[in-house]
A and B are shown apart, each in its own frame.
Chain A
């Protein structure tokens, strides 16, 4: 769980990002203008800042100079290349353009948090502990044997917990983009996970969409 500040003047987008991050197990604070954001940064400790560029009061480009060593992901509709370069040259950890898919944002949040070692390296639920560093799963303290693909699938489901992922999305995230196999492979691996870890109630099949890890 990471503590994330969302700075975005568009109320609906701010709420949307916040809702999704909370679902996947993060704690969020929202700011709708640069000044409020700066006050929050000065008074609280954050693991990550999601920052819009055009903000009332203080722009994202100004704000990033005052964030210290907190990682920053820019979220903006400004598509010009020089803006992108400016964002990265100012020390942003990533740059994401509107409109974006929520899974994309979540994936980037995860990557930045992992890189800056601000995310947990393990996740526990029920009687199960998942260690992301050693890529091992323990059930009641004893190791459970998973294939590398099964582990990756579990990891992706945990990262996007409470959010349904389509079979195609899972193939993209777990297998490679040019994977030739059909989506039945996903079903087979999900069955394996449910069977090996007793996750029948946790990994739900969502009608017409795919699978969701619920917690």
Chain B
């Protein structure tokens, strides 16, 4: 990114500064010139006064016939000094060394005028009892020359100062803007997809604060990206698992049907094959039913009725006693009775699923405990077993559809299920505003607890 803002700031600052600097210099030059002009006028006044006094004295002493001579001698005496005199008597110029084309001012006045581009100071005064009018004229062209020299010197100084200023200003602004530039680079990196980069937060100015804020934002974004990726991964895994769950029974069903149709086999083997087809179809049916249940719970609000917990626990025990006994486990019911508002059928389903899982996790001599504990605000139902247990990693996935703790995804008769049980349990708990939690240690067993809020 080009720093347009830096360029603009730089140009505007520079222009402003140059205008004021050069304006200031010019004003100073003008002021100096005015001051010099004034000084020259002061000098001219006193010179004129001296000349008038001397001339009046000399004219008193001399004969009137020699007045003209006197005029000539004064004029020629002062001409080399750049002072020109003009005498006028009764409207007639009697003697003059003035350059032509000068505008003669009224008596008693002083003006500046130019002839042939040269600057003069003119003073007119009536002298010798008003019989004569003397015009004093002084060449002050040196003032203009001085002014030109001054302007040139000032311009040179201004050029040097301006260039120095331009360079220094640029460097200074660059330095001030460097954090912004760095931040902009970091932004670009992040926009380009590298979410791990962070801005430099050192310092205590606005840029440091901005960088800190920016880093917080980047952190959040990258966290959210990771979360999204995680969700997408879970979805993908679920989809893969679903495909696998559907394909395996389908392969069996198709394969056995094909086998019956095409193979040269005796009747009992055909019956065998048909048996496989039936059990695989059953598995597909169970999966679709569980998925439908799950969808139903998600789509519909449950209608809560008061449910007695203890009978529910005893019922659950009753229902699973046979399968528990066949795998050598016993089921115990503990705790106190409580009433909570919920859907009886769904709660049964929830407890059944948790109990089934507990039985599957147990070896011989397993003990499964169904219990209910009550506090002021909460009612907790828990199913505890002393079976194989799970690792942290396994715990974090068990409520995902089709996740199996056994990586082989075994569906052998002893441990196989649809892989949807706990996902369904989670749905049921959520529908009741309850929280389903697991705690487990490998080799020691697992506790699943559902905590309902009663208030």
Interface, chain A (partner B; CB < 8 A) = 9-13, 15-16, 19-20, 23, 32-33, 54-57, 59, 77-80, 98-102, 162-165, 204, 206, 209, 212, 214
Contact = CB atoms under 8 A, between A and B. Distances in A.
Given A11-B412, A162-B264, A163-B263, A16 B244 contact: no
Nearest to A213: B264
Contacts of A209: 261-262
B196 to A, nearest CB: 25
B255 A163 contact: no
A59 B406 CA distance: 12
A16 B252 contact: yes
Interface in B240-284: 240, 243-244, 247-248, 250-252, 254-256, 258-259, 261-265, 269, 276, 279-280
A9 B410 CA distance: 7
A12 B247 CA distance: 13
29 contacts: A9-B409, A9-B412, A10-B248, A12-B279, A12-B280, A13-B251, A16-B255, A20-B259, A20-B263, A23-B263, A32-B412, A33-B408, A56-B407, A77-B247, A78-B244, A80-B240, A98-B247, A98-B250, A98-B251, A99-B250, A99-B254, A101-B254, A102-B255, A163-B262, A164-B262, A164-B264, A212-B262, A212-B264, A214-B264
Contacts of B256: 12, 16
Q: Which of B252, B264, B406 has the most CB of A within 10 A?
A: B264
Interface of B: 240, 243-244, 247-248, 250-252, 254-256, 258-259, 261-265, 269, 276, 279-280, 406-412
A77 B243 contact: yes
Contacts of B280: 12
A102 B409 CA distance: 23
B434 to A, nearest CB: 34
Given A16-B252, A20-B255, A162-B265, 18 more contacts: A10-B252, A10-B411, A12-B280, A13-B248, A13-B251, A13-B252, A13-B255, A15-B276, A16-B259, A19-B263, A19-B265, A19-B269, A54-B408, A57-B408, A77-B247, A77-B248, A98-B251, A212-B262
B340 to A, nearest CB: 39
A78 B409 CA distance: 12
Nearest to A32: B412
Contacts of B250: 98-99
Contacts, number: 88
Q: Which of B262, B263, B265, B410 has the most CB of A within 10 A?
A: B262
Contacts of A98: 247-248, 250-251
A163 B243 contact: no
Nearest to B255: A16
List 7 A-B pairs, minimum CB-CB distance, nearest first: A56-B408, A99-B251, A164-B262, A162-B264, A98-B251, A12-B252, A77-B244
Q: Secondary structure of the A side of the interface?
A: loop
Contacts of A99: 247, 250-251, 254-255
Nearest to A160: B262
Nearest to A20: B259
Contacts of A55: 408
A54 B410 CA distance: 9
Contact of A56 (B243, B258, B406): B406
Contacts of A54: 407-409
Contacts of B255: 13, 16, 20, 99, 102
A99 to B, nearest CB: 4
Contact of A101 (B252, B258, B264): B258
A74 to B, nearest CB: 14
Nearest to A79: B243
Nearest to B249: A12
A165 B263 CA distance: 9
B276 A12 contact: yes
Contacts of B247: 77, 98-99
Contacts of B406: 56
B240 A19 contact: no
Contacts of B258: 101-102
B391 to A, nearest CB: 16
Nearest to A57: B408
A160 to B, nearest CB: 9
A84 to B, nearest CB: 13
Contacts of A79: 240, 243
A163 B412 CA distance: 29
A78 to B, nearest CB: 7
A102 B251 CA distance: 10
B215 to A, nearest CB: 35
A57 to B, nearest CB: 8
Nearest to A55: B408
Q: Which of A10, A12, A32, A209 has the most CB of B within 10 A?
A: A12
Contacts of A19: 259, 263, 265, 269
Nearest to B251: A99
Contacts of A163: 262-264
A11 B416 CA distance: 12
A9 B261 contact: no
A101 B280 CA distance: 17
B250 to A, nearest CB: 5
Nearest to A169: B262
Nearest to A80: B240
